[in-house]
Amino acid sequence: MSVVRGRGLLAEARQVASPNHDSRPPGCQPTLLLLHSISLPRGHYGGDAVERLFSNRLDLGEHASFGELAGLRVSAHFFVRRDGELLQFVPLERRAWHAGVSRWRGRERCNDFSIGIELEGVDSAPFESVQYARLSTLIRSLRLRARLPLRELAAHSEVAPGRKTDPGARFDWARLFSDLARDH
DSSP 8-state class, residue 4: E
Distance of alpha carbon 98 from alpha carbon 158, whole angstroms = 14
Q: Distances from the Cα of 20 to the Cαs of 4, 10, 59, 176, 178, in angstroms? A: 21, 18, 17, 28, 33
Beta strand pairing status for 4-5 and 9-10?
Answer: antiparallel
The upper half-sphere exposure of residue 157, i.e. CA atoms within 13 Å in the direction of its Cβ, equals 11
Look up 68 and say whether it is catalytic: no
Instruction: Write down the catalytic residue from 118, 128, 152, 158.
Output: 118
C-alpha angle with apex 64: 116 to 73, nearest 5 degrees? 30
Distance of alpha carbon 133 from alpha carbon 59, whole angstroms = 32
DSSP 8-state class, residue 93: T
Q: Distances from the Cα of 169 to the Cαs of 32, 135, 158, in angstroms? A: 20, 17, 12
Known catalytic residues are: 118
